[in-house]
């Protein structure tokens, strides 16, 4: 029975991946920043192993990786994300990990690319040079970001504010990223070793279409409002400069249409078509409605 460690296990993709790995005949270990925070995962999956990871403390990585055969490397969106990624890869090599699935981002291999992509590519290169068999997943923008970042204005104003103009994006449901990762992590043999997969949803969508899908699911009118870049910058005023500038660069790329590519990789690997925006909206409709 192989042991799989998932770092960032309480995040958007990590939470879904823990569920996707259940009932596959594997020992699943969830790397969490706080055991208290990870307790909800264990309530859902009593057989799950929880292990606390503090990236600045090598001993916690050593403990977390002991006995691990395969690793899904999900790092936080933080200023030191590159250093964290490299540190985990180095620790995994010392621990004898046999396969790493790295959650990267769409366009990470573009040259010169944007800052977010360059950060991900630096970690990818470190992994490629580590000598550990690897698979890289490069998903597009998550549908779940509409819940995480836009639900409040959708609930209370019926407005979806974004600086994307008429740009179309091939949004992907995090459940499809997780299912793809689970298939690769549980696969026998080396079919996926050395591969980099671009993951997208089934179609590229403008935000008018996203708003319409949420409106249909909730039965309440939702309208997309295109906001100027400077307004978006001001809205992120509490965020550190490195974060806001990286996000604005990503928005600009999407507005220009560079995030509209669609692949069939999810279905090719999992045998299941990726979720549509309508399915996502119906699944999460309670998140887009104000509490009565």
Question: Are residues 190 and 247 both part of a single domain?
Answer: no
Q: Tell me if 264 is assigned to some domain.
A: no
Which residues, other chains included, contact 159 with Cβ-Cβ below 8 Å and sequence gap of 6+?
Answer: 153, 222, 223, 224, 225
Per-residue confidence in pLDDT tens, the chain, 292 aa: 899 999 999 999 999 999 999 989 999 999 999 889 899 999 999 999 999 999 999 999 999 999 999 999 999 999 999 999 999 999 999 999 999 999 999 999 999 899 999 999 999 999 999 999 999 999 999 999 999 999 999 999 999 999 999 999 999 999 999 999 999 999 999 999 999 999 999 999 999 999 999 999 999 999 999 999 999 999 998 899 999 999 999 999 999 999 999 999 999 999 999 999 999 999 999 999 987 5
Question: Are residues 78 and 194 both part of a single domain?
Answer: yes
Structural domains in the chain (count):
2
Question: Are residues 55 and 185 both part of a single domain?
Answer: yes
Q: Tell me if 164 is assigned to some domain.
A: yes
User: For the purposes of burial, counting CB atoms within 10 Å of the CB of 289, is it exposed (0-12), middle (13-18) or buried (19 or more)?
Assistant: middle
In the block, tokens 């696969």 appear at 187
Q: What was the pLDDT predicted at 1? A: 85
Q: Tell me if 265 is assigned to some domain.
A: no
Give the CATH number, domain containing residue 284.
3.90.25.10
Give the CATH number, domain containing residue 32.
3.40.50.720
Count of Cβ atoms closer than 10 Å to residue 104 Cβ: 26
Question: Are residues 221 and 194 both part of a single domain?
Answer: no
Question: Are residues 247 and 153 both part of a single domain?
Answer: yes
Give buried/exposed letters for 1-18 (b at 16+ CB in 10 A, else e).
ebbbbbbbbbbbbbbbbb
Host domain of residue 52: 3-140+172-199
Q: What was the pLDDT predicted at 37? A: 86
Query: What's the 3-state SS for 108-120?
Result: CCCCCCCHHHHHH
pLDDT tens column, 148-174? 999 999 999 999 999 999 999 999 999
Q: Tell me if 220 is assigned to some domain.
A: yes
- Report the C-alpha gap between 159 and 140 in whole angstroms: 23
Question: Are residues 130 and 222 both part of a single domain?
Answer: no
pLDDT tens column, 66-91? 999 999 999 999 999 999 999 999 99
In the block, tokens 């068999």 appear at 133
Question: Are residues 220 and 114 both part of a single domain?
Answer: no
Q: What was the pLDDT predicted at 237? A: 87
**Domain limit, last residue, from 199, 217, 239:** 199
Ramachandran area for residue 271 (φ above 0: left; ψ -120 to 50: alpha; else beta): left
pTM (two decimals) = 0.97
Question: Are residues 55 and 157 both part of a single domain?
Answer: no
Q: Tell me if 65 is assigned to some domain.
A: yes
Q: Tell me if 91 is assigned to some domain.
A: yes
């Amino acid at each position: 029975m192989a042991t799989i460690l998932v770092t960032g296990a309480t995040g958007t993709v990590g939470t879904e991946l823990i569920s996707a790995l259940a009932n596959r005949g594997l020992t699943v270990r969830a790397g969490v920043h706080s055991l208290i925070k990870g307790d909800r995962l264990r309530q859902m999956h009593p057989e799950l192993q929880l292990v606390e990871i503090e990236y600045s403390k090598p001993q916690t990585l050593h403990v977390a990786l002991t006995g691990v055969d395969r690793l899904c490397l999900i790092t936080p969106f933080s200023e030191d994300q590159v250093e964290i990624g490299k540190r985990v890869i180095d620790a995994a090599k010392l621990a004898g990990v046999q396969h790493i699935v790295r959650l990267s981002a769409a366009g990470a291999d573009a040259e010169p690319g944007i800052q977010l992509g360059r950060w991900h590519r630096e970690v990818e290169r470190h992994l490629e040079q580590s000598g550990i068999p690897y698979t890289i997943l490069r998903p597009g923008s998550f549908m779940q970001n509409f819940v995480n970042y836009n639900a409040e204005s959708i609930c209370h104003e019926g407005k979806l504010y974004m600086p994307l103009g008429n740009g179309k994006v091939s949004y992907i449901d995090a459940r499809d990223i997780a299912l793809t990762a689970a298939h690769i992590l549980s696969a026998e043999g080396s079919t996926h070793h050395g591969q980099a997969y671009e993951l997208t949803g089934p179609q590229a969508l403008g935000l008018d279409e996203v708003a319409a899908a949420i409106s249909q699911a909730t039965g309440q009118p939702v309208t997309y409002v295109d906001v100027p870049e400077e307004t978006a910058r001001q809205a992120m005023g509490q965020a550190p400069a490195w974060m806001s500038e990286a996000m604005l660069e990503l928005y600009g790329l999407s507005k220009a249409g560079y995030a509209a590519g669609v692949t069939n990789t999810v279905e090719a690997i999992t045998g299941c078509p990726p979720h549509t925006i309508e399915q996502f909206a119906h699944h999460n409709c309670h998140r887009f409605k104000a509490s009565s």
